[in-house]
Amino acid sequence: MTESVSASGPTDVGSTGQPGAAAPGPAAGRVARVVLVDDHRMFRTGVRAEIGRTEVTGIDVVGEADDVESAVRVVAETRPDVVLLDVHLPGGGGVEVLRRSAGAMGEPGGVKFLALSVSDAAEDVIGVIRGGARGYVTKTITGGDLVSAIFRISDGDAVFSPRLAGFVLDAFAATDTPPVDEDLDRLTQREREVLRLIARGYAYKEIAKQLFISVKTVESHVSAVLRKLQLSNRHELTRWATARRLV
């Protein structure tokens, strides 16, 4: 978490404050209780170290989870102000966590969700927003911008990394339901992530680093994608993804 989303930070939709403005933390006498949900322990450790110094940031990390079941349980037990939610999780993904946490979100002053994911795919953004998340930022966000986003989400604002806000506006402005892509639906969320990165020209080692998985796991996902889509090589895969505007 060392590369900034942009010079001005996340886009704040519906807030009267300026994008990238300093978050109201300890100086304003505020503390936001946060749960981290991500299936990569090292990433959770990094986020906690970056934002979890309560006396400095005003963020109190009250729980962590690495899959859908543990996420639903921790959210129910801790009732945090904000949940930082990865989109791709074992057990059904971030959308399933949102579905099963609808009660906690619906209460007065209920739990709010901010998606924090490596994926910048329109379908992922739209899926979690429709599921009830209040915002979506990518993992390239800086610690300071993430703290600011957490407080804004806690206040009821909607926050997005700059280019992602357009996906949401376009989706909710559309009057027609997008057609179902049966081929794409055969792929798991993780396979879709690998597919996009392959189509963008990333090497296996680069994909492994980006997704926090091993090179062998990347190879396994690529093989599964090629088999399911009945393609022979990455060049055909790239053409397939480009034709569907997934790149």
The pLDDT score that the predictor gives to residue 177 is: 47
The pLDDT score that the predictor gives to residue 4 is: 33
The pLDDT score that the predictor gives to residue 10 is: 59
Which segments of 41-128 are extended strands (E)?
Answer: 59-65, 82-85, 112-117
The pLDDT score that the predictor gives to residue 34 is: 97
- For the CA atoms of the chain, what is the radius of gyration? 18
The pLDDT score that the predictor gives to residue 11 is: 54
Element (H, E) at 68: helix 68-78
Q: Are 231 and 191 in contact (CB under 8 A)?
A: no
Per the structure block, which two tokens stand in for 136? Answer: 């979506």
The pLDDT score that the predictor gives to residue 22 is: 46
- Stretches in the chain below the pLDDT threshold 50: 1-8, 13-22, 175, 177-178
Per the structure block, which two tokens stand in for 162? Answer: 């700059």
pTM (2 d.p.): 0.65
Give the neighbor-by-neighbor strand order of the sheet with 135-138.
11-13, 158-160, 135-138, 112-117, 82-85, 32-37, 59-65
Whole-angstrom distance, CA of residue 72 vs CA of residue 99:
10
User: From the CB of residue 48, how many other CB atoms can be counted at a distance below 10 Å?
Assistant: 15
What angle in degrees, to the nearest 10, is found between the helix axes of 41-51 and 143-154? 80
Q: Per residue in 81-96, is it b (16+ CB within 10 Å) or e — as a string?
A: bbbbbbbbbeebbbbb
Task: Encode pLDDT of 40-73 as tens digits.
Answer: 999 999 999 999 999 999 999 999 999 999 999 9
Whole-angstrom distance, CA of residue 190 vs CA of residue 124:
11
